[in-house]
A and B are shown apart, each in its own frame.
Chain A
Amino acid sequence: MVTGTYEPTIIGFLCNWCAYQGADLAGTSRMEYPPNVRPVRVMCTGRIDPTFILKAFAEGADGVLVGGCHPGDCHYLEGNYKAIRRITMVRRMLEQFGIEPERFRLEWVSASEGAKWAKIVEEMTEQVRDLGPLQWWENVREA
């Protein structure tokens, strides 16, 4: 990373079957994108416990990106639908913590959408970079 300027760190939770493969495809196709997202592979977005997301923010992540299969395409039939419900809750929780909504994203990326993955990472990195480092303890204090 370029030193001297602020570069955010984003934790990505990627499902094994769609988003992780999509990100792999971006690699195989040599699509360049910023290195700010650090991926964690899970088998399904349905496995993502809200505490994973909180943990990432607590450990210093400036953003969290969850990538799963498109609705209807879940390898485990409907894990992503369950993720949607949980993530709605997480969103509300993050809001209460004073974390800007742009710092958390849920995206559907299929195994063939390498370009989409690269674009999402680029977009989100830029957005989070603009927001600056996460200072949620201050937001909480203010609230």
Chain B
Amino acid sequence: MEEPKIGVFICHCGTNIAGTVDIDEVREFAAGLPGVVSARDYKFTCSEPGQLQIKEDVKNLGLNRVVVAACSPRMHEITFRKAVAEVGLNPYLLQIANIREQDSWVHKNGSTEKAKALIRAAVQRANLLESLERREVPVTPSVLVVGGGIAGIQAALNIANANHKVYLVEREPSIGGRMIQLDKTFPTLDCSSCILTPKMAAVGSHPNIELMTYSEVEDVSGYIGNFKVKVRKKPRYVDSELCTGCGICIEKCPWKTDSEFDMGLGKRKAVYTPFPQAVPNVPVIDPDVCVYFEKGTCRACEKFCPPGAIAWDQKEETVELEVGAIIVATGYDLLDPSPLTQYGYKRLDNVITSLEFERMCSATGPTGGELVLKDGSAPQSVAIIHCVGSRDKNYCEYCSRVCCMYALKYSHLIGEKTDADVYQLYIDMRCYGKGFEEFYKRLSDEGVNFVRGKVAQVTDQVAGEEEQGKLVVVTEDTLLGRMLRIPVDMVILCPAMVARADADEVARRFLINRGADGFFLERHPKLEPVATASDGVFVVGCAQGPKDIPDTVAQASAGAAEALSLIDRGTVEIEAATAVVDEEMCSGCKICLALCPYNAITFDEEKKLANVNDILCKGCGVCVAACPSAAITGRHFTDKQIFAEIDGLLADVKPPLVAV
């Protein structure tokens, strides 16, 4: 190997690093390390002139290794690799010393000493770095979108309109998601169905979109650009090819159950479409409700179906897809407020959740858009309780972001439909979006009562004549500093938006991370808001965190743009830091074969040797550590390189074992 000529570049990161780390001391220290020919510092090494400094030194001083002491490699390793590659240095000859996230930002004292240790380790490791060649492989030019809510719909349409194939997988019988359950949308009050159904129809008829409803992703394998996905299609028991969507089967079916779409407020049949504008307009038969599956009788739907589309013998099937990118848009659940027993949900009549209220307001809902109490009468007074489980350490610490605004919207809708007095019980009004504050002002003008206080209790224990037959909302009005008892006919709870109940399973399937709040974690909160820890997998919409429709749509388009830029490129570079078997040393013991999670290791029966397929290998290094003959090398993380790093980290510590 050629004599290493290492350049060390120390970044001040403004005062982020320079504020706690003594840059001059560290630079002088670095300059004295073996192999280092130049050590320099700069205000912002990642900036154009900062990168130029590196490039110039590579050219002028003939550097063959570069160490950048700056922020985390997870932040700018790619940036600097690109910079050195531009002047002809192999990108794998760059080493980052993370002296910001894991040093200057977290230590008041000792950060200079630690920076030195980290740089020394990086330099020692750099001495042993080797050039690696990255291979390019073709990208499958299609995208999988998981979830058919507004986020999935938007992403799918964006990609399909760019002339790429999209597979849109939706668990429910129809696309539409949460948004199609809503009545009006804030702050413009446009009708949710009116703006969403055209998009749904466009998805249903788009030549580039293969819509797979009533289906779930079962397994994902492969890697960026070349994923293999298994999708399980549940049997509809209705032949989609034959069905004309006439709805006679639904009309004739005698079996009923609670409608999930109407949040249990209305009924649906055993054969059903969740709502009239469903896409696809092909019903499904629910085998748990349909009596045919229990007793083999009835078959009313079959008898009356004009095209004979009922298909009792349909079986579950698994379809395999190949895609280049994946967009996860699996949405959110609403917190079940029944554990908050003080609000009486499910115990007291006329205490309902926001989604139930949405269904009640909807013209296609269980009450035909009438706002009614359990007894069928119209409410005279309504209380809307904000932050039910949101901003609450005992449930969800975060703000759900949309409740303040939809609660205001409810005031307006209640005003449209009834003469009821409306009370908004809030902690803080958060009206941060475009048109939000204006909407707040408008609703104030419409005569809503605002009470600042977190409601302690909703009770039917009355304390006086005027409370007879009412629900009493007990709260401190914190602005008055006085306890209030507000008798109302209806209470609407605004529960927290929470991660889907099966989010952990989904995260595992797509190898993405979840935050402490349970939602999927983006790779960087600001600069990579839709990328995930898995290359080629993007997350958009409420699966990533609570957000309103405009933000969801914007994010969905962002996800589509990311996916498009990936598949339009045509090729993708695959990891070069893979494992490689030294044929001389391999004993053919096969221990590594069973360990590889990607089946990337095969056994050459002729030579009796293990072989790593470096397209399948993702470079985890599990086989490297396991090989009893040390015959497998983990490129870019070789034993020698890691040993050198450990040595470097500990060179200032007196070793306890003295060689005799």
Known contacts A24-B72, A113-B516: does B107 contact A43 (CB below 8 Å)? no
Q: Size range of the interface on B?
A: 35 or more
Which residue on chain B has the smallest CB distance to residue A72?
B508
A76→B113 contact, CB < 8 A: no
Interface SS, A side? loop
Which residue on chain B has the smallest CB distance to residue A86?
B625
- The residue that B106 contacts in the complex, of A18, A59, A76, A118, with Cβ under 8 A, is A118
B113→A35 contact, CB < 8 A: yes
A65 beta carbon closer than 8 Å to chain B:
no
B624→A38 contact, CB < 8 A: no
B616-639 interface with A by 8 A CB criterion: 618-622, 624-626, 634, 637, 639
> Min CB distance, A60 to chain B, in Å?
4
B117 beta carbon closer than 8 Å to chain A:
yes
B597→A35 contact, CB < 8 A: no
Which A residues are in CB contact (< 8 Å) with B98? 24, 39, 41
Which A residues are in CB contact (< 8 Å) with B577? 43
Kindly state the separation between the CA atoms of A11 and B655 in the bound complex, as whole angstroms: 14
A34 beta carbon closer than 8 Å to chain B:
yes
Kindly state the separation between the CA atoms of A112 and B515 in the bound complex, as whole angstroms: 5
A49 beta carbon closer than 8 Å to chain B:
yes
Kindly state the separation between the CA atoms of A25 and B515 in the bound complex, as whole angstroms: 11
Kindly state the separation between the CA atoms of A79 and B653 in the bound complex, as whole angstroms: 31
- The residue that B650 contacts in the complex, of A32, A59, A136, with Cβ under 8 A, is A59
B 100-131 binary contact with A (CB < 8 Å = 1; else 0): 11110111111101100110010000000000
> Min CB distance, A58 to chain B, in Å?
5
A6-40 interface with B by 8 A CB criterion: 7, 9, 11, 16-18, 20-21, 23-28, 30-36, 38-40
Kindly state the separation between the CA atoms of A11 and B618 in the bound complex, as whole angstroms: 26
B100→A59 contact, CB < 8 A: no
> Min CB distance, B473 to chain A, in Å?
36
B637→A47 contact, CB < 8 A: yes
- The residue that B646 contacts in the complex, of A27, A40, A82, with Cβ under 8 A, is A40
B511→A75 contact, CB < 8 A: yes
- The residue that B101 contacts in the complex, of A24, A76, A136, with Cβ under 8 A, is A24
B653→A42 contact, CB < 8 A: no
B595 beta carbon closer than 8 Å to chain A:
yes
Chain B CB count within 10 A is highest, among A47, A56, A61, A86, for A47
B450 beta carbon closer than 8 Å to chain A:
no
Known contacts A20-B74, A52-B646: does B105 contact A79 (CB below 8 Å)? no
A51 beta carbon closer than 8 Å to chain B:
yes
A35→B114 contact, CB < 8 A: yes
A47→B625 contact, CB < 8 A: yes
Known contacts A24-B72, A43-B637: does B650 contact A9 (CB below 8 Å)? yes
B 636-655 binary contact with A (CB < 8 Å = 1; else 0): 01010011011101100111
> Min CB distance, A117 to chain B, in Å?
9
B 585-626 binary contact with A (CB < 8 Å = 1; else 0): 000000000010100000000000000000000111110111
Kindly state the separation between the CA atoms of A113 and B619 in the bound complex, as whole angstroms: 24
B622→A46 contact, CB < 8 A: yes
> Min CB distance, B587 to chain A, in Å?
17
Kindly state the separation between the CA atoms of A110 and B519 in the bound complex, as whole angstroms: 13
Chain B CB count within 10 A is highest, among A11, A41, A48, A55, for A41
Known contacts A26-B106, A111-B521: does B634 contact A47 (CB below 8 Å)? yes
B73 beta carbon closer than 8 Å to chain A:
yes
Chain A-chain B contacts (Cβ-Cβ < 8 Å), number: 172
A61→B653 contact, CB < 8 A: yes
Kindly state the separation between the CA atoms of A46 and B106 in the bound complex, as whole angstroms: 27
> Min CB distance, A119 to chain B, in Å?
12
Kindly state the separation between the CA atoms of A79 and B626 in the bound complex, as whole angstroms: 11
B650→A11 contact, CB < 8 A: yes
B232 beta carbon closer than 8 Å to chain A:
no
> Min CB distance, B607 to chain A, in Å?
26
- The residue that B654 contacts in the complex, of A51, A60, A72, with Cβ under 8 A, is A60
Chain A residue total in the interface (Cβ 8 A): 61
A 68-106 binary contact with B (CB < 8 Å = 1; else 0): 000011011111001000100000000000000000000
Kindly state the separation between the CA atoms of A30 and B100 in the bound complex, as whole angstroms: 10
Known contacts A1-B110, A112-B516: does B649 contact A11 (CB below 8 Å)? yes
B622→A44 contact, CB < 8 A: yes
Kindly state the separation between the CA atoms of A9 and B529 in the bound complex, as whole angstroms: 36
A24→B102 contact, CB < 8 A: yes
A135 beta carbon closer than 8 Å to chain B:
yes
B502-538 interface with A by 8 A CB criterion: 504, 507-508, 511, 513-516, 521, 533-534
Which B residues are in CB contact (< 8 Å) with A59? 646-647, 650, 653, 655
A 106-143 binary contact with B (CB < 8 Å = 1; else 0): 00001111000010000000000000011111000000
Which A residues are in CB contact (< 8 Å) with B113? 1, 35
B198 beta carbon closer than 8 Å to chain A:
no
> Min CB distance, A94 to chain B, in Å?
14
B276 beta carbon closer than 8 Å to chain A:
no
B111→A35 contact, CB < 8 A: yes
Which A residues are in CB contact (< 8 Å) with B625? 46-49, 82, 86
Kindly state the separation between the CA atoms of A47 and B653 in the bound complex, as whole angstroms: 25
Which B residues are in CB contact (< 8 Å) with A76? 597, 618, 620, 622
Which residue on chain A has the smallest CB distance to residue B624?
A47
B645→A40 contact, CB < 8 A: yes
Kindly state the separation between the CA atoms of A82 and B596 in the bound complex, as whole angstroms: 11
Known contacts A111-B533, A112-B515: does B620 contact A43 (CB below 8 Å)? yes
Which B residues are in CB contact (< 8 Å) with A77? 511, 597
- The residue that B107 contacts in the complex, of A35, A41, A55, A112, with Cβ under 8 A, is A35
> Min CB distance, A100 to chain B, in Å?
14
B650→A17 contact, CB < 8 A: no
B382-410 interface with A by 8 A CB criterion: none
- The residue that B657 contacts in the complex, of A30, A34, A73, A137, with Cβ under 8 A, is A137
Which residue on chain A has the smallest CB distance to residue B654?
A60
Residue pairs across A and B with Cβ atoms less than 8 A apart, 5 shown, are A21-B74, A27-B106, A75-B534, A79-B622, A112-B513
A sample of 11 more A-B contacts (CB under 8 A), given A20-B72, A25-B101, A61-B650, is A23-B101, A38-B118, A41-B98, A44-B620, A52-B642, A58-B656, A72-B508, A76-B597, A79-B620, A82-B626, A112-B513
B interface residue numbers (CB < 8 A to A) = 72-75, 98, 100-103, 105-111, 113-114, 117-118, 121, 504, 507-508, 511, 513-516, 521, 533-534, 577, 595, 597, 618-622, 624-626, 634, 637, 639, 642-643, 645-647, 649-650, 653-657
